[in-house]
Amino acid sequence: MTAKMEELQKRVIGRGESKKAIAEALELPLWTVYSIHKLYRDTGGFTKHENGGRKRSVRTDRLITDMNNKIQSARGDCSVQGLSREFNMAQRTMERVVKLDLGLQTLVKRRVQLLTAS
Protein backbone atom coordinates (compact mmCIF):
# COMPACT_ATOMS: atom_id res chain seq x y z
CA MET A 1 0.00 0.00 0.00
CA THR A 2 1.32 3.41 -0.88
CA ALA A 3 2.02 6.12 1.66
CA LYS A 4 -0.62 8.30 0.03
CA MET A 5 -3.33 5.67 0.54
CA GLU A 6 -2.28 5.13 4.17
CA GLU A 7 -2.52 8.87 4.78
CA LEU A 8 -5.94 8.95 3.07
CA GLN A 9 -7.19 6.14 5.29
CA LYS A 10 -5.95 7.88 8.45
CA ARG A 11 -7.67 11.12 7.47
CA VAL A 12 -10.95 9.38 6.59
CA ILE A 13 -11.00 7.60 9.96
CA GLY A 14 -10.14 10.80 11.82
CA ARG A 15 -13.34 12.47 10.60
CA GLY A 16 -11.91 15.89 11.31
CA GLU A 17 -11.55 17.18 7.76
CA SER A 18 -13.92 17.54 4.88
CA LYS A 19 -13.57 15.28 1.88
CA LYS A 20 -12.66 18.23 -0.32
CA ALA A 21 -9.87 19.28 2.05
CA ILE A 22 -8.49 15.74 2.12
CA ALA A 23 -8.55 15.52 -1.68
CA GLU A 24 -6.74 18.84 -2.05
CA ALA A 25 -4.12 18.04 0.61
CA LEU A 26 -3.27 14.65 -0.89
CA GLU A 27 -3.69 15.79 -4.50
CA LEU A 28 -6.25 13.08 -5.25
CA PRO A 29 -9.47 13.23 -7.23
CA LEU A 30 -12.46 14.00 -5.06
CA TRP A 31 -14.30 10.87 -6.24
CA THR A 32 -11.43 8.73 -4.88
CA VAL A 33 -11.87 10.22 -1.43
CA TYR A 34 -15.63 9.74 -1.63
CA SER A 35 -15.30 6.09 -2.71
CA ILE A 36 -12.77 5.32 0.07
CA HIS A 37 -15.03 7.02 2.62
CA LYS A 38 -18.05 5.05 1.38
CA LEU A 39 -16.08 1.78 1.54
CA TYR A 40 -15.07 2.54 5.14
CA ARG A 41 -18.62 3.57 6.09
CA ASP A 42 -20.22 0.47 4.52
CA THR A 43 -17.73 -2.20 5.58
CA GLY A 44 -15.97 -0.72 8.60
CA GLY A 45 -12.60 -1.23 6.90
CA PHE A 46 -10.70 -0.59 3.72
CA THR A 47 -10.70 -4.05 2.16
CA LYS A 48 -13.08 -4.83 -0.63
CA HIS A 49 -15.60 -7.65 -0.41
CA GLU A 50 -14.22 -11.04 -1.34
CA ASN A 51 -17.35 -12.12 -3.17
CA GLY A 52 -17.71 -9.10 -5.43
CA GLY A 53 -18.44 -9.23 -9.12
CA ARG A 54 -21.35 -10.14 -11.31
CA LYS A 55 -24.29 -11.68 -9.50
CA ARG A 56 -25.27 -15.26 -10.19
CA SER A 57 -28.10 -15.96 -12.55
CA VAL A 58 -31.51 -16.75 -11.10
CA ARG A 59 -32.22 -19.10 -14.01
CA THR A 60 -31.22 -22.19 -12.08
CA ASP A 61 -32.07 -25.81 -12.85
CA ARG A 62 -34.47 -25.86 -9.91
CA LEU A 63 -36.38 -22.84 -11.22
CA ILE A 64 -36.60 -24.37 -14.69
CA THR A 65 -37.90 -27.65 -13.25
CA ASP A 66 -40.45 -25.87 -11.06
CA MET A 67 -41.64 -23.77 -14.00
CA ASN A 68 -41.96 -26.82 -16.23
CA ASN A 69 -44.00 -28.63 -13.58
CA LYS A 70 -46.24 -25.60 -13.09
CA ILE A 71 -46.87 -25.23 -16.83
CA GLN A 72 -47.57 -28.96 -17.22
CA SER A 73 -49.98 -28.99 -14.27
CA ALA A 74 -51.81 -25.96 -15.66
CA ARG A 75 -51.89 -27.67 -19.06
CA GLY A 76 -50.49 -24.56 -20.66
CA ASP A 77 -53.27 -22.34 -19.30
CA CYS A 78 -51.01 -19.79 -17.64
CA SER A 79 -49.29 -16.57 -18.59
CA VAL A 80 -45.71 -15.42 -18.34
CA GLN A 81 -46.89 -12.42 -16.34
CA GLY A 82 -48.74 -14.67 -13.89
CA LEU A 83 -45.73 -16.94 -13.53
CA SER A 84 -43.46 -13.98 -12.85
CA ARG A 85 -45.79 -12.81 -10.09
CA GLU A 86 -46.05 -16.28 -8.59
CA PHE A 87 -42.29 -16.90 -8.60
CA ASN A 88 -41.56 -13.27 -7.61
CA MET A 89 -39.19 -12.66 -10.50
CA ALA A 90 -38.85 -10.25 -13.37
CA GLN A 91 -41.13 -10.84 -16.33
CA ARG A 92 -38.21 -10.75 -18.75
CA THR A 93 -36.49 -13.53 -16.78
CA MET A 94 -39.62 -15.65 -17.06
CA GLU A 95 -39.78 -14.99 -20.79
CA ARG A 96 -36.21 -16.22 -21.14
CA VAL A 97 -36.92 -19.37 -19.13
CA VAL A 98 -40.00 -20.17 -21.19
CA LYS A 99 -38.41 -19.47 -24.57
CA LEU A 100 -34.75 -20.43 -24.18
CA ASP A 101 -34.72 -23.06 -21.44
CA LEU A 102 -38.05 -24.82 -21.97
CA GLY A 103 -38.23 -24.28 -25.71
CA LEU A 104 -41.86 -23.09 -25.58
CA GLN A 105 -43.55 -20.31 -27.49
CA THR A 106 -46.04 -17.93 -25.98
CA LEU A 107 -49.45 -17.81 -27.58
CA VAL A 108 -51.36 -14.55 -27.55
CA LYS A 109 -55.04 -14.92 -28.39
CA ARG A 110 -56.46 -11.94 -30.16
CA ARG A 111 -60.12 -11.25 -30.75
CA VAL A 112 -61.02 -10.21 -34.26
CA GLN A 113 -64.25 -9.64 -36.06
CA LEU A 114 -65.75 -12.55 -37.93
CA LEU A 115 -66.00 -11.86 -41.62
CA THR A 116 -68.97 -13.30 -43.46
CA ALA A 117 -70.04 -13.16 -47.07
CA SER A 118 -72.50 -10.36 -47.73
pLDDT (0 to 100) of residue 106: 79
Q: Is residue 76 part of a domain?
A: yes
Task: Residue 80: give the domain boundaries.
Answer: 61-101
Whole-prediction pTM value?
0.45
Q: Is residue 114 part of a domain?
A: no
Query: Which tens digits make up the pLDDT trace of 8-61?
Result: 777 777 767 788 888 888 888 888 888 887 877 777 777 766 666 777 678 888
How many domains, in total, are found in the chain? 2
20 or 7, which is more confident: 20
Q: Are residues 69 and 37 in the same domain?
A: no
Q: Is residue 56 part of a domain?
A: no
Q: Is residue 109 part of a domain?
A: no
Q: Are residues 66 and 97 in the same domain?
A: yes
Q: Is residue 107 part of a domain?
A: no
Query: Which tens digits make up the pLDDT trace of 66-102?
Result: 888 988 898 868 888 988 998 888 999 899 888 998 8
Q: Is residue 10 part of a domain?
A: yes
The conformational region for residue 52 under phi > 0 = left, psi -120 to 50 = alpha, else beta, is: beta
Residue 66 CA to residue 78 CA, distance in Å, equals 14
